[in-house]
Structure 1
């Protein structure tokens, strides 16, 4: 399957329309100011990554929000590395990372491959890329995103662009770029001029899916039909709102997406990093946990930096309830 591009703009598999207008935006802004429990009262707990353990086993590490670090068959990779304090083009304004949740870049192990799902500021971060670019072997991005990295000084020979369901082997590990229902853009004038998507990663014995950002639709079933089940699916479940329900899932849809993918374990992500919507900071995980129990879905809720062995990637300490 190829992505859908008309003129300069990419499109989703189905037409979507944001439900926002001026009055809704005005009311939403008032609600945003009035809302409570938008940030945790205590620092988010974090564990320093055990580099030796990470390197010596097939493993996965959640680094907060939507950044995932993985190791399959001795190939290390990081998805949407966003390891700075603001999800913004400016360092003085914009969504600020929750206290305690930032993993310093110098604590990361050696990384072979960077994967980018889309170019929003909370997923593609210039300073993080600049810190990693010289020491990685490859950077895989959606169509038309290469130009951004080249402008930042990334070596062009390291960058490879992908269409939906395009894939590549790196030292025996398969990386496949998959569809999502979302959008792209880093300014007021470039909306949808760059492709967006998700990633599936396959080793000899294990498989991982990372959703990026997406509304709920049939593409999750489509991905399962193409690639089969996954050992673990990292699915976005935060920053949702009725006004943008077609581009971000509510937690109940996120859990259903993991069912559609036939994932053995779901790791909820895209929460506990930034205040990006109207809900309380811990509502996403509370709702995801409840519906997962109701539907018999196994979820894992690691502390930031905690290594999950892919043979048994379960961690169920309810750390957020202590904050």
Structure 2
């Protein structure tokens, strides 16, 4: 075969290979895209919809905040868009976030209480011999798509397969950074614990294959017994939604109470007078897990600023404050380290006990590690 023919043959082969690669890429995209509709979750119907309609929080076809505050952020204004494009904020760490692998340990004994923070809002509560997993999100992105959406700034410190057996899995609301389809599906296969969720969220779980007997839906002030624990859904000031429809499911904070120890978790919420009421009814709390990140002046009523998190902790009659909802996903315009810097300053000013663990670090609530500013060396 002469040189021209060889070159023509190589070009033809190249076209076939590129075509094959393109088809493979399209097939891969199609495979990823097919899960997007499922990730949007389910819709309320039948008995689930009837129960939602009876809730005091449900009015005119949607769930509402009791304070009458606007539930969802409005359209971004020009200044917000300009900051997003041209802002000088350091929204990512400049070095790797240090991760720790929690050492294998038996569940906390009768009077012990430990917290393991895995990043963002995902945490493990080890209380009086029980384990409660909170808002587990292990996927690379908090999004219905594996291709777009906020991506992790650090890996999970442990894999889902390495988690110990848990007694309950709590979900605060249905936003993607708190409720993740892939994580739920794997937990269904690997764990036997029930999912405790706010009203309506069970429709998502049912679509994803969670057995009905493992779905416990609660309205605010309703409780469920898990072994020796009483788990209570309490009020929060936020919103919900996984697609274009807003507020079709409820959002909540959570109280986890044993015979001797008590834990409060905010979920996502703006600051409101409900914290003082929760503290009076369910407190005092040995430890609070407080949302501190992803705040902005454009949505002040649905996420707390760090100073408000400290105020809420005081209202709740909290002992130790452990911050969550920061460090893992880039969801606002503030500097990556700003939430915890501001929290530390406010906690010192108000003489509030604080622990800021590295992702994966176990905090013994009765003997917490001193705050050492570890995040500043990577910010």
> What TM-score bracket applies, with the shorter chain setting the length?
over 0.9
Residue of structure 1 equivalent to 2:322? 267
Corresponding residue to 1:86 among 141, 159, 176: 141
**Unpaired stretches in structure 2, ≥5 consecutive residues:** 1-54
Larger C-alpha radius of gyration, 1 or 2?
A: 2
C-alpha distance after superposition, 1:9-57 (max 9, x if no partner): 01111111379665x4343122112233100011111111222255665
Deviations 1:228-277 (A, max 9, x none): 21000010011000110000011010110000001011111110011111
Q: Does residue 30 of the first structure (1) align with residue 30 of the second (2)?
A: no
- Change in 2 beyond 3 A, CA 1:3/1:289: farther
Q: Quick check: 2:72–2:302 contact (8 Å CA) kept in 1?
A: no
**Which residue of 2 is the match for residue 8 of structure 1?**
61
1:169-227 Cα deviation digits (max 9, x unpaired): 111111111000000000012x1010001111011221110100000010100101111
- Compute the TM-score of the two structures, normalised by the length of structure 2: 0.81
Which runs of 4 or more aligned residues in structure 1 lie more than 6 Å from their structure 2 counterparts after TM superposition?
none
Given that 2:181 and 2:208 are in contact with CA atoms closer than 8 Å, whether structure 1 keeps it comes out as yes
The 5-angstrom pairing of residues 236-251 of structure 1 reads 236-251=291-306
- 1:151-230 equivalence runs, <5 A: 151-189=207-245, 191-230=246-285
Contact 1:299/1:314 (CA < 8 Å) preserved in 2?
no
305, 310, 313: which one aligns with 2:360: 305
Q: Are 1:44 and 1:101, in contact at CA under 8 Å, matched by a contact in 2?
A: no
**CA 19–147 in structure 1, closer or farther in 2 if over 3 Å, else same:** closer
> How much has 1:158 moved relative to structure 2?
0.7
Summarize the Cα distance change of 1:53–1:75 in structure 2 as closer, same or farther, 3 Å threshold.
closer
Name which of 102, 110, 122 aligns with 1:49. Answer: 102
SS at match of 1:52: coil
Gaps of 5+ in 1: none
1:3 Cα deviation after fit: 4.0
In structure 2, what is the Cα distance between the partners aligned to 1:64 and 1:218? 28
Q: Could you tell me whether the CA contact under 8 Å between 1:215 and 1:245 is conserved in 2?
A: yes
Q: Using the TM superposition, name which of 132-141 and 218-227 deviates more.
A: 132-141
Give SS of 2:357's match. coil
Aligned pairs, number: 320
CA distance in 1, matches of 2:162, 2:261: 25
Between the aligned partners of 1:155 and 1:48, the Cα distance in structure 2 is 31
Match of 1:142 among 194, 198, 202: 198
Q: Secondary structure at the match of 2:119?
A: coil
The 2-side partners of 1:103 and 1:250 are apart by 29
Q: Determine if contact 1:199/1:210 at 8 Å carries over to the other structure.
A: yes
Partners of 1:150 and 1:156 within 8 A in 2: yes
TM-score normalised to structure 1 length: 0.94
Comparing 263-272 and 103-112, the one that deviates more: 103-112
Conservation of the 8 A alpha-carbon contact between 1:119 and 1:184: yes
Residue among 152, 156, 173 paired with 1:118: 173
- The structural deviation recorded for 1:83 is 1.2
Aligned CA RMSD, in angstroms, stands at 1.7
Deviation at 1:137, TM superposition (A): 2.2
Secondary structure of the equivalent of 1:63?
Answer: strand
